[in-house]
A and B are shown apart, each in its own frame.
Chain A
């Protein structure tokens, strides 16, 4: 399969800074992957996202080395508008990215900017709302929406442009637990039903591990792990070594395993931990 993203030897140092924000990143992403990025503050997560949607190098000054190909296009030689047809972006603060006063207008905004015919816009809006499952919000005022609803509108606006890739930088950091779950459910559905390639930066490790298929752990500008969550959780030091937490249920079973009470794989979720505990009870539970 031809990769949808290919990054070769990417390094970036912000103008005025001495320390590189990214150093020597090499990864490829196949169409339809669902990837999570995590890492401590200053790891380079947001910088990497900005390299994917072309903001770097087009709008951010600094020293750029290496190559990023998005669907075959080198981002250095490609106009940012062209990149934005391929890569949809959703950011942390829903307030900062919503510009229109109704949900419908918000979704139309990007389409109008791409010069699309009104009838086409109408069809795209209906389709995007349906894909995200928020048809009921169509005529609502954006200011009355909850945080989770606003982020889903932001995702719908990005999806309406039919990008191949959706990148999200901590989309749930302002959200309550329900809003967080709503966002991840929508991402999962977009990934599974429409094959959208998704890359999401997230600090909430418990929910991240439950949904994604591949995890990038970053630290000090480098990619320190790139594996499926199940492999990562079975080497907890990959996370704890860079100051991150592993989910409490994984930690519990890790300790039981270390003490000889259990000898299987470590669980990623509460549900898996339940089955792990039953197994170590010898079926008595």
Chain B
């Protein structure tokens, strides 16, 4: 779905922000992109919808070279959710906001209405279609922005810190919507600093450090190499941190990521050792 070949990118008159990156993201993957502030995460995301174009190398989206296609065309393939929903909301009703993309694609009135309704249902905004987005809560405005991407029916969803500035429940709601899309076959790429979210949702993790790829592996294997993560000042989520405090964790518990997995490992395998002590 996404092919990145020897991608180097520098802003005008600047040093390279991304240096010689090569990787592929296949259709239907759920990828977290992590790294310190300034590692190049957002710059990389912007290559996927053509907001930025490679200085050297190539980025292909579903076979299209981003340098040879327009952002309009790419926007039909790649939906981009920014960190702050207010940067992408500008129309007076929720329905107009969600319908803006399809209207620009030249869809018929009926087609626009159909897409608006579908997208609104998907994110639970049906009751608010005639409301002004400005009067909704931040979590709801994030969902308006999200629905306005869905109405474009992009195959790939790119989310830049989708839960920042939201409370725990709002963050989980957004991620559950993303997960539902993933189950429907969408390719998901998200950036976050919240390692608990990474552990909970990502199948694959790409770690960026100073514009290069430090690791690219399953979430489990990345979080069970804390020495490498530490080189870029990141730490795994809590459960892998706790598990790795035990010297013989591999034999005793395996490599659990979630509370559920670790709980099972303790209560199943270590049964006799753990019997009702006080």
Contacts and interface: CB of A to CB of B under 8 A. Distances in A.
A261 B274 contact: yes
A177 B229 CA distance: 12
A203 B242 CA distance: 22
| Main DSSP-derived SS at the A contact region | loop
A180 B36 CA distance: 11
Contacts of B233: 176-178
B68 interface: no
Given A203-B168, A245-B168, A270-B238, A41 B139 contact: yes
User: By CB atoms of chain A within 10 A, which of B35, B169, B267, B277 has the most?
Assistant: B277
User: By CB atoms of chain A within 10 A, which of B38, B193, B263 has the most?
Assistant: B193
Given A256-B263, A274-B245, A176 B37 contact: yes
Given A176-B193, A281-B274, A243 B238 contact: no
Interface string B224-265: 000000000111011101100110000000000011001100
B238 A249 contact: yes
A219 B271 CA distance: 40
B234 A261 contact: no
A170 B164 CA distance: 11
A5 interface: no
A244 interface: yes
28 contacts: A39-B167, A146-B37, A146-B38, A147-B37, A170-B165, A173-B164, A176-B37, A176-B193, A177-B195, A177-B234, A178-B233, A206-B238, A245-B168, A248-B259, A252-B242, A252-B262, A255-B263, A260-B276, A261-B277, A262-B277, A263-B277, A270-B241, A273-B238, A273-B242, A274-B245, A277-B266, A281-B270, A282-B277
Contacts of B246: 274, 277, 285
A251 B169 CA distance: 17
| Main DSSP-derived SS at the B contact region | loop
Interface in B185-203: 193, 195-196
Nearest to B248: A285
Nearest to A272: B242
B168 A244 contact: yes
Sorting the interface of chain A by its residue count into under 10, 10 to 19, 20 to 34 or 35 or more gives 35 or more
Contacts of A42: 137
Nearest to A248: B238
A41 B262 CA distance: 31
Contacts of B234: 176-178
Contacts of B193: 175-177, 180
A207 to B, nearest CB: 11
A24 interface: no
A146 B36 CA distance: 10
B269 interface: no
Interface string A135-161: 000000000001110000000000000
Contacts of A262: 277
